[in-house]
Amino acid sequence: MPSQEIGMPIPNIPHAVSVTLPTWEATVGYEEGQDWVVSKMNSGYPRFFIHSSIQKLSKKIEAKYGRDGERCMIFPSYKVAKRCRKFIKEKTDIDNPVIRVLQLSTPAPASEDEKSTVIESTIGVVFFPASEYPLAKNYWQHSGEGISSRMGEYVLRELFEKDSSRSTSPTPSSGFRAANSNLKHELQVQQIQRRSPSISASIRSPSVTQNEETEKEFNTFIEQKFGRVLDLKFAKEAKIALRRRICGKVDKSHNQIEEMEKARRGKNLSETDVYLFPSGMATIFYAHQVLLELSKEPKKSVCFGFPYVDTLNILKKFGPGVHFLGLGDDNSLDELEKELESGEIDIMALFCECPSNPLLKTPDLKRIRKLADKYDFAVVVDETVGNFLNIHVLPYADMVCSSLTKVFSGDSNVMAGSLVLNPASSRYHQLKEYFDKEYEDLFWSEDALWLERNSRDFAERSVRIDKTALATVDLLQKCPLLAKVYYPTLSDTKKYYDEIKTPTGGYGGLISFLFHEPEHAIRFFNAVNLHKGPSLGTNFTLACPYAILAHYQELDEIAQWDVDRNLIRISIGLEDTEELLAVLQTSLDEAAAKPIA
């Protein structure tokens, strides 16, 4: 059964992406920093909660290289660390703060045998006055450029826990054997999860005693079936496979519409136009940074539609600022066109989600593209919620961003993102030249190996999730307790979704809904026997009180964009459809069982 224990990783593995917040009250307690919740949070979404292995590495580095009163933040390159330093200096209230950047590297493999377990890596460490830690954490959260938990584990082992005398023997160190134990446990959870996602959170960590014979059989199974996943020397091949997979799916899933074919101008998308990042948010951050760098005079951008929280944070806090068109409707586009025509505003880019999270609105991409061509601004589309098997947005964007952490991976055990350049874009050559010169591959090798394996059945999972989502929407629509259900098929913008929907595509697995009475929302959420926490696109259904979790400090403000404080969001997983519907119906019945006080 899904765990209802506060702070339990979802799934219960060392590198889980989500974390359990099982009740409405616990979610509020987390947002308010109440001790009864925060003290139990030993895990969390990686951009908001720094993994224990990274915390340990930070303390080791501070002890060895830090000065009195300093703290540090670790990034996967010197260049990223310098970006963080610049951000802190721009935002701090301290005059001339001392902010240092240190570069550290782990050794390269000393032999051919070591290539399976050793990889040369470099980190950039930012040292700053302890008082500025919140600013450094803001950069970590907004940019998505922090090191991954697996990279933190590896660097910690190589720099501080491994014997100084390097052995030429292929026998892994004790640290690597421990890491392998974690990897094997993750694979075990992954296999069980695919068969029965609802039980994954009940699986305990490797520290719990297991039957020795079962463990021996499982070790053999891992070695025979998945040994390649544990081998670092295949990381390069894994990344190539990922880029080809993304490139092929994007390219092959497009609608056979003449207008789209014209927009492609006879050019085929290449794997060299696909770039991998350590998180989905890092792709949006980097796209924005690229446009700022390439602009002769940086201008504000437009955020069209109510987006995921850190997309707006990036546009607000980095560069000249943002014009926020939070409703993301036709009237908003009319107003934008008037302001562009009159010269009242001049913009660098328009950022939008397709469809939006959490209201599932789809922007009019055809019209946006026409405006972009006429008024010379870039278009950046985040298609994470729709996913590129369901929708084809590339002809209308200069850059397409996606969080591969979500349905592309599914297993909730790795962070990743992709950015695709449109070869038919008028900006393509300028963007390509910049990427060729400045792009850094910061996607950690072990994460690439995990993502490659996770995403092999992406297409099959996507179809299954889409079908279950439609059945779920039908159930929710029939419930008299609900005031509104949000889904692309129910939105006034469905016509825009259908224009970009692929021939075999569905409408995605994300659903939001609103009860007439807030008390019913709380009762339902507390009663529903599902995994409850942040993230979406997981192989298990995941629920959260979205506005409380993502916008607790600005609930009154977001109401103007039609985001209600009592909104609940669910992300559909791979459970049996009838079983999932029964769970939801039971909780709806329980919510209605008592009269409102």
**Is there a domain that residue 412 lies in?**
yes
* 259 C-beta neighbours (distance < 10 Å), count: 10
Output the tens digit of pLDDT for each of the chain's 597 residues.
788 999 999 999 999 999 999 999 999 999 999 999 999 998 889 898 999 999 999 999 999 999 999 999 999 999 999 999 999 999 999 999 999 999 999 999 999 999 999 999 999 999 999 999 999 999 999 999 999 999 999 999 999 998 654 443 333 333 333 444 444 444 544 454 454 444 333 333 333 334 445 444 443 333 334 444 468 999 999 999 999 999 885 554 444 333 333 333 234 789 999 999 999 999 999 999 999 999 989 899 999 999 999 999 999 999 999 999 999 999 999 999 999 999 999 999 999 999 999 999 999 999 999 999 999 999 999 999 999 999 999 999 999 999 999 999 999 999 999 999 999 999 999 999 999 999 999 999 999 999 999 999 999 999 999 999 999 999 999 999 999 999 999 999 999 999 999 999 999 999 999 999 999 999 999 999 999 999 999 999 999 999 999 999 999 999 999 999 999 999 999 999 999 999 999 999 999 987 776
Q: Which of 410, 429, 455 is the last residue of a domain?
A: 455
- Asked if 513 and 485 count as a contact pair (C-beta separation under 8 A), the reply is yes
CATH number of the domain within which 152 lies: 3.30.70
Q: Which of 359, 361, 586 is nearest to 479 (CA)?
A: 586
Judgement on whether residues 295 and 433 belong to the same structural domain of the protein = yes
**Is there a domain that residue 475 lies in?**
yes
Q: Which of 455, 470, 498 is the last residue of a domain?
A: 455
In degrees and rounded to multiples of 5, residue 132 shows phi and psi of: -95, 10
Total domains in the chain come to 4
- Alpha-carbon distance 423 to 420, whole Å? 9
* CA atoms within a 13 Å half-sphere pointing along the CA-CB vector of 19: 22
- Alpha-carbon distance 187 to 203, whole Å? 12
Judgement on whether residues 142 and 205 belong to the same structural domain of the protein = no
Judgement on whether residues 578 and 542 belong to the same structural domain of the protein = yes
Place of tokens 């490139």: 247
**Is there a domain that residue 245 lies in?**
yes
Judgement on whether residues 222 and 344 belong to the same structural domain of the protein = no
**Is there a domain that residue 519 lies in?**
yes
Predicted confidence (pLDDT) per residue in 568-592, tens digit: 999 999 999 999 999 999 999 999 9
Q: In what order do the strands lie in the sheet with 100-105?
A: 70-75, 122-129, 100-105
**Is there a domain that residue 13 lies in?**
no
CATH number of the domain within which 520 lies: 3.90.1150.10
Tell me which residue range forms the domain holding 75. 52-161
Q: Which of 541, 540, 558 is nearest to 549 (CA)?
A: 558
Q: Which of 109, 137, 161 is the last residue of a domain?
A: 161
The two structure tokens encoding residue 494 = 């469905």
* 553 C-beta neighbours (distance < 10 Å), count: 8
* 61 C-beta neighbours (distance < 10 Å), count: 22
Judgement on whether residues 267 and 336 belong to the same structural domain of the protein = yes
Q: Which of 103, 112, 100, 52 is nearest to 77 (CA)?
A: 103
Judgement on whether residues 417 and 436 belong to the same structural domain of the protein = yes
**Is there a domain that residue 386 lies in?**
yes
**Which stretches does DSSP call E strand in 1-57?**
9-10, 18-19
Place of tokens 């970009």: 500
Judgement on whether residues 383 and 483 belong to the same structural domain of the protein = no
Judgement on whether residues 214 and 245 belong to the same structural domain of the protein = no
pTM of the model: 0.88
Judgement on whether residues 243 and 340 belong to the same structural domain of the protein = yes
**Is there a domain that residue 14 lies in?**
no
Helix (H) or strand (E) holding 438: helix 428-438
Helix (H, G, I), strand (E, B) or coil at 545: coil
Judgement on whether residues 326 and 408 belong to the same structural domain of the protein = yes
**Is there a domain that residue 18 lies in?**
no
Judgement on whether residues 378 and 310 belong to the same structural domain of the protein = yes
Residues in the chain: 597
Judgement on whether residues 286 and 416 belong to the same structural domain of the protein = yes
